[in-house]
Chain A
Amino acid sequence: MNKPYGKALLLSFIIIVSLCLGGCGLRDQAREVDQLLVVQSMGLDSGPQGVLLSLSSAGGSTPDSPPVRLQSAGESITTALERVRAGANEEELFCAHIGHLLIGEEAARQGIRPALDYVCRSGDLRLSVPLYILRGNTAREAVLGAGDESFGVCDALDSVDADLRSRGDGHTATASDILRDLERYGSALVCAVSLRPSAEEDRSGETPKRPETVVPEGYAVLRDGVLCGWLDRQQAIGVGFLTGNTGVCELTVTDQAGLPVTLTLTGGSCKLEPRWDEVGQLAALEVNVEAQAVLAESKAGDTELDYLQMMLERSLSERVRQVLQMSKQWRADFLGLEGKLERQAPGKMRAMTPGFAACWPSLPLTVSVSAHLTGTGDVEDWP
């Protein structure tokens, strides 16, 4: 065999083998996209069998393609998922695009480690999948019950995620964020959501009704992977300052006449100032918060900004204190204060005996808030 002929033969062989490597046409492995049921939200609850699994696809652009909702139970997530696969005869489940993982309150109280472990081991789920804990409901109620024919829980959670990106009273944490915080600090914050009637009315049926949707509800606090408490949206504002996730959010205070005034927080920062004793132990912690806000709405025309500023400082101080107090009470450093202090004085923090976790519940704290309030856009500041 001469050389050019040999090369042509080799090239032909490579091309034929390459065509087979795609998997199309071999052992019925090819799948049409329209045959796939693209699951986008997964709900997990605890049940008598072990795990109650609920799945939902996104709502389509037309009423002809409503979200598909599925449920199953099993000893583990994997077995429950296999049962759903076996039950979904017409379409093949495609779980690689799961974008939200919801966990029911009861399941979270029993611990979310198995769910996180599943995310780590699964070839389908990504570590960047955002996690939510349903406050007062099961995940199944949200996954199967939220929305109507035109939208499902996926669309509602997409909206929650987009909303919280710019706001300071909530934040979505991914599975990897939660795993990292649990490993590092022993506790973590998870975005809490609840099931509420939607603002829109469903007029697709004969009797108009308001479908349920999922709305942000602050944070769920995990300690050692187990749900230990909740922080509502007002307390979440304090969390935003302490964790550096400040964004736009509303805060209502009262003016001198006792009338409500709505302020919009536009940003801020938090500085931690540790005080060390002579043996190198953390003796006290000063928390200095700075906030910027604008006047959004006032019932009285001549509201005095200095007074409102003072009320804002008082209100923020209260929220920050509450959050810090809860962290101490639950013995859970869900704010990652240890990491923040370590950034300032790594050597001293590492040398602490006992460590930060042990001294945190009894650590004296001082909170000071300095706010800067201005009028809004076209309206001049009041004298």
Chain B
Amino acid sequence: MKSSDRFTLGQLLALCSVMALTPALRLLPGASAALAGRGGWLSVLLALPAAIAYGAFLWHFGQQRREGESLPALWQRAAGERVGAALLMLCGLWLLFYAGFTLRDSAQRLIDTVYPHADRRLFVLPLGLAAAVAGAGEARRLVRCAKMLLPLLVGAIALTLLFALPELHSDNLLPLAGQDALPVLKGALPTLDVAALILVLLFFLSDRLIGEGRYRSVAGRIALLGTLMAALTAAVIGAFGHELSARLTQPYFSLVRNLVFFHSLERIEALLVALWIFSDFLLTAALLLVVRRCLAPLCGEKPWLGAAIGAPALLIGCLLAPEAAAFERLSSRWIPVANAAVCLLLIPGVYVLGKLRKRL
């Protein structure tokens, strides 16, 4: 066992749960409402069986690993040494781009909610540097950090949902008719997109755990987190209606901005947005760590590799879509499509290739 892998599946799932909050809040309430209308909350729940099935596939793929074989090595065995390395590099480059995009997304969230007109680089650079340092280190540090942060973030969501209850209008959530079936199914795509990304990270970070743990606990965590996200989506759509939820760039934080606690405490959105920086930090660091693992067969386990891959992520974060409107288009249209291509086509493609070549 590598020293970096000294953590349990439960701890790793805590990391995945914290990481999921960043893309979930970016996509789910708004995109689900836009695609599924008032049934957006149901879409999130409907995506869960597909997410659990995709996780089961990745788990099964990971179990094909031989004794002492790493997951990148498994890829190379399945797809052939050169093709496998090329596909790993492709996957790694995508995750590297996603790390830069996450930095930009974090900055945009802060600009939209608390610091209007601020320079995005002011947020991208410190977060990117911190994530690069963490991403160059060992996975167990991220995992332990997530274990501490998870109750804080979930507690914050639960508290806001509780205080948002009086704001909800049932006619914003119901009724649903047969005509809603197709839009509600379409609305499941953003949830599946988020789940796929996080499950791919789990796949690359879990290594030995795939052989030891049970998938039931992963499926249980997907169901729990999905239910929380469905509740969050229901709160947003229930408060604003699906029409307005689809138009808002940060609908969850707009909901938080409306909340008044005990007739005295209000405008806590800045505090809550600040908490999400932890999720951004862990996601970026984990992405960089996985990129390092993907590139290791090509570059070897060089000590400089960890630091070197942080630089392009920072550059992407600083240069990507300077205009807010351009970022919104990228975030809602192109990133989910590209992510789906990598997670739902490229990785299953490697598995199919391995089966066809009778190497799995």
| Nearest CB in chain A: distance from B325 CB, A | 12
Stretch from B76-84, B172-180, B342-350 contacting the other chain: B172-180
**Interface residue from B116, B167, B174, B243 paired with A180 (Cβ < 8 Å):** B243
A48 CB within 8 Å of chain B: no
**Interface residue from B178, B247, B258 paired with A120 (Cβ < 8 Å):** B247
| Nearest CB in chain B: distance from A236 CB, A | 20
| Nearest CB in chain A: distance from B169 CB, A | 9
CB of B241 within 8 A of CB of A346, answer no
| Nearest CB in chain B: distance from A154 CB, A | 16
CB of A176 within 8 A of CB of B239, answer yes
Distance between Cα atoms of A342 and B241 in the complex (Å):
15
CB of B241 within 8 A of CB of A96, answer no
| Nearest CB in chain B: distance from A313 CB, A | 28
CB of A183 within 8 A of CB of B171, answer no
Distance between Cα atoms of A333 and B54 in the complex (Å):
46
CB of A343 within 8 A of CB of B175, answer yes
| Nearest CB in chain B: distance from A130 CB, A | 12
CB of A176 within 8 A of CB of B244, answer yes
B248 CB within 8 Å of chain A: yes
| Given A96-B267, A123-B113: A180 and B258 interface contact (C-beta under 8 Å) | no
CB of A184 within 8 A of CB of B258, answer no
Nearest residue (CB) in B for A347 is B177
Residue among B174, B175, B176, B240 with max Cβ neighbours from chain A (10 Å): B175
| Binary flags per residue of B230-266, CB closer than 8 Å to A gives 1, else 0 | 0000000001110110011000001001100000000
**Interface residue from B112, B113, B244, B267 paired with A179 (Cβ < 8 Å):** B244
Report chain A residues within 8 Å CB of B112. 123
A95-151 contacts to B (CB < 8 Å): 96-97, 120, 123, 126-128
**Interface residue from B114, B176, B239, B258 paired with A346 (Cβ < 8 Å):** B176
A311-355 contacts to B (CB < 8 Å): 336, 339, 342-343, 346-347, 349-351
| Given A126-B258, A176-B244, A184-B243: A350 and B114 interface contact (C-beta under 8 Å) | no
A167-213 contacts to B (CB < 8 Å): 176, 179-180, 183-184
| Nearest CB in chain A: distance from B152 CB, A | 16
Residue among B116, B171, B179, B254 with max Cβ neighbours from chain A (10 Å): B171
| Nearest CB in chain B: distance from A380 CB, A | 40
- Specify the main secondary structure of chain A where it touches its partner: helix
| Nearest CB in chain A: distance from B298 CB, A | 32
| Nearest CB in chain A: distance from B339 CB, A | 28
| Given A123-B113, A123-B116, A350-B179: A180 and B247 interface contact (C-beta under 8 Å) | no
| Nearest CB in chain B: distance from A237 CB, A | 22
| Nearest CB in chain B: distance from A383 CB, A | 44
Nearest residue (CB) in A for B247 is A120
CB of A183 within 8 A of CB of B257, answer no
Report chain A residues within 8 Å CB of B179. 347, 350-351
- Which size bracket describes the interface of B in this complex? 20 to 34
| Nearest CB in chain B: distance from A23 CB, A | 10
Nearest residue (CB) in A for B116 is A123
**Interface residue from A128, A183, A347 paired with B241 (Cβ < 8 Å):** A183
| Given A176-B240, A179-B244, A180-B241: A127 and B171 interface contact (C-beta under 8 Å) | no
Residue among B112, B179, B244, B257 with max Cβ neighbours from chain A (10 Å): B244
Report chain A residues within 8 Å CB of B244. 127, 176, 179-180, 183
CB of A123 within 8 A of CB of B114, answer yes
**Interface residue from A180, A343, A349 paired with B240 (Cβ < 8 Å):** A180
CB of A126 within 8 A of CB of B239, answer no
Distance between Cα atoms of A154 and B241 in the complex (Å):
28
CB of B171 within 8 A of CB of A343, answer yes
Distance between Cα atoms of A126 and B253 in the complex (Å):
11
CB of B113 within 8 A of CB of A342, answer no
CB of B172 within 8 A of CB of A120, answer no
Distance between Cα atoms of A373 and B35 in the complex (Å):
49
Residue among A96, A127, A184 with max Cβ neighbours from chain B (10 Å): A127
**Interface residue from B167, B175, B258 paired with A342 (Cβ < 8 Å):** B175
Report chain B residues within 8 Å CB of A346. 175-177
Report chain B residues within 8 Å CB of A350. 177, 179
CB of A128 within 8 A of CB of B258, answer yes
Report chain A residues within 8 Å CB of B178. 347
| Nearest CB in chain A: distance from B56 CB, A | 35
Distance between Cα atoms of A51 and B333 in the complex (Å):
36
Report chain A residues within 8 Å CB of B248. 120
Report chain B residues within 8 Å CB of A351. 179
Distance between Cα atoms of A367 and B289 in the complex (Å):
69
| Nearest CB in chain A: distance from B308 CB, A | 22
Report chain A residues within 8 Å CB of B113. 123
CB of B257 within 8 A of CB of A339, answer no
Given contact pairs A127-B244, A342-B175, A349-B177, a sample of 17 additional A-B residue pairs in the complex whose CB atoms are under 8 Å apart: A96-B267, A97-B267, A123-B112, A123-B116, A127-B257, A127-B258, A176-B240, A176-B244, A176-B258, A179-B243, A339-B171, A343-B174, A343-B175, A346-B176, A346-B177, A347-B177, A350-B177
Interface pairs A-B: 8 shortest CB-CB: A346-B177, A183-B243, A180-B241, A128-B258, A346-B175, A123-B116, A347-B177, A350-B179
Q: Name B residues whose Cβ lies closer than 8 Å to a Cβ of A.
A: 112-114, 116, 167, 171-172, 174-179, 239-241, 243-244, 247-248, 254, 257-258, 267
12 residue pairs of the A-B complex, CB under 8 angstroms, read A96-B267, A97-B267, A120-B248, A123-B116, A126-B257, A127-B244, A176-B244, A179-B244, A180-B241, A184-B243, A342-B175, A343-B175
